[in-house]
Amino acid sequence: MSLYDIDSAEDTAEKAASYLPTPSGYRLLLILPEMKTKTDGNILLAESFTSKEQTAAVVAFVLKVGPDAYRDPVKFPNGPWCKEGDWVVVRSYSGTRIKIRGKEFRFVNDDTIDGVIEDPRLVERA
């Protein structure tokens, strides 16, 4: 069972593009998928639970890549680890968290991406 509302994150990413900050230097701007408020069985989840899970989320969508991200050939000899439009796995609580219009975004360093995934609904925080 996925706790993430993935479709909502992708829709929000498209709508948000015009008012989002641009990451500086080697940072990436990520949007976190919204947490579902009900289980698949239609049971309402406590707001404290969804808030905690949102903060500790390990899945995010890459919205923007800073101008210096992945430019260091010594650090990234095989090129970028991810690109705009990728779903990525990051460490819980990583990055600088901000909210814009009620949506949570994170600035993370280019070297904090742990992996790229095709279907974020399959990932659960352990």
The model's pLDDT over 80-104, given as tens digits with 9 standing for 90+, comes to 999 999 999 998 888 999 988 888 8
Q: What global pTM score does this model have?
A: 0.74
- φ/ψ of 113, rounded to 5, equals -75, 125
Q: Are 46 and 54 in contact (CB under 8 A)?
A: no
CATH number of the domain at 8, please. 2.30.33.40
Quote the domain boundaries for residue 23.
Answer: 4-122
Q: Are 89 and 59 in contact (CB under 8 A)?
A: yes
Q: Give the pLDDT of residue 46.
A: 58
Mean pLDDT over 21-43 rounds to: 81
First-last CA distance in the chain: 13
Task: Tally the domains of the chain.
Answer: 1
Please, what's the b/e burial string for 40-54 (b: 16 or more CB within 10 A of its CB; e: otherwise)? Answer: eeeeeeeeeebeebb
